[in-house]
Amino acid sequence: MNDVADVGNGEAGYAQIRFSLRRCVGRITLNRPERLNSFTEAMHAELARALDTLEACEGLRGLIVTGAGRGFCAGQDLSERKPPAAGERRDLSVGLETRYRPLILRLRALPVPVVCVLNGVAAGAGASLALACDVIYAVESARFVQAFSKIGLLPDAGGTWFLPRLVGSARAMGAALFGESVSARQAEAWGLIWRAVPDEALAATLAEIEATLAAGPTRAYAAAKQALHASSGNTLAQQFDLETRLQRELGYTDDYLEGMRAFAEKRPPAFTGT
């Protein structure tokens, strides 16, 4: 399997995100720190282009999503929206349909683990972006804010789908209605995220996740992701069918053979992702 060359920002024309592919693991860093990495149309276009590259990458083994500076993402850049004139009515569906929906659905559909590393606050659609990822790590100073109600909106970009599934309806409702901050530690206790880590461990966490994904059993990860995502819409019997089909496919992979050999030889496995 070929590795994929780094994609430097300058040469690839990225300005509002940084995008790289190292050892077949993509990394997207939202990069408008002065506005807490809030979404603009230009950022959406760059994210779409990065996803084009990731979807076309045959040897892809994972994706990490994080942010530059003290915030992860503060949702829609509200300065892109002029304050409404008296009596004006706005159709907010267009941006959701044309930008947020494809972004979230494409991330969910990537056939590799998508790991979010929250470097700071995730608010509005920025929280939904984090929740769309398969696994979330967060530094202890990070927090989630369902900021939507503060501007008279409901959680969007998938927020009302992700929240109750992850934390149950009582917590989802409280967070959505009142828009209070949920700290990383609280989010960990609720099961909203996988793990909170000390702030000073951010760089080490990113490096560790990259190394884990680059050396992992990628097809097993993909199958687990597919099965877990499908589970909420399946009966137990349907889930058995899916697990059986996926496990049969995994039984034919190089990584299964390697895993079994490594177990027998009492050594760590050297997975190739095939």
Residues contributing to the site for ligand T3D (CB under 6 A): 35-36, 38, 74-79, 81, 92, 95, 121, 123-125, 145, 147-148, 150-151, 153, 156
Cα 151 from Cα 176, distance rounded (Å): 12
Return the number of the residue (15 or 228) whose C-beta is nearest ligand T3D: 15
Cα 34 from Cα 77, distance rounded (Å): 11
Return the number of the residue (29 or 146) whose C-beta is nearest ligand T3D: 146
Tell me which residue of 123, 125, 124, 121 sits closest to 47, measured CA to CA.
125
Return the number of the residue (4 or 73) whose C-beta is nearest ligand T3D: 73
Least spacing, CB of residue 153 vs ligand T3D, in Å: 6
Least spacing, CB of residue 140 vs ligand T3D, in Å: 15
What Rg value do the Cα atoms of the chain yield, rounded?
A: 19
Return the number of the residue (193 or 209) whose C-beta is nearest ligand T3D: 193
Q: With 0-12 CB in 10 A as exposed, 13-18 as middle and 19+ as buried, what is 106?
A: middle
Least spacing, CB of residue 74 vs ligand T3D, in Å: 3
Least spacing, CB of residue 80 vs ligand T3D, in Å: 8
β-bridge mates for residue 29, sequence order: 18, 66
Coil, helix or strand for 26? strand
Return the number of the residue (19 or 148) whose C-beta is nearest ligand T3D: 148
Local structure of residue 249 (DSSP, 8 states): H
Least spacing, CB of residue 101 vs ligand T3D, in Å: 11
Coil, helix or strand for 187? helix
Least spacing, CB of residue 241 vs ligand T3D, in Å: 37
Q: In this structure, what is the dihedral angle of CA atoms 98, 99, 102, 105, given to the nearest 10 degrees?
A: -130
Q: Tell me the C-alpha to C-alpha distance, in Å, between residue 238 and each of 80, 108, 233, 235.
A: 45, 21, 9, 5
Return the number of the residue (36 or 196) whose C-beta is nearest ligand T3D: 36
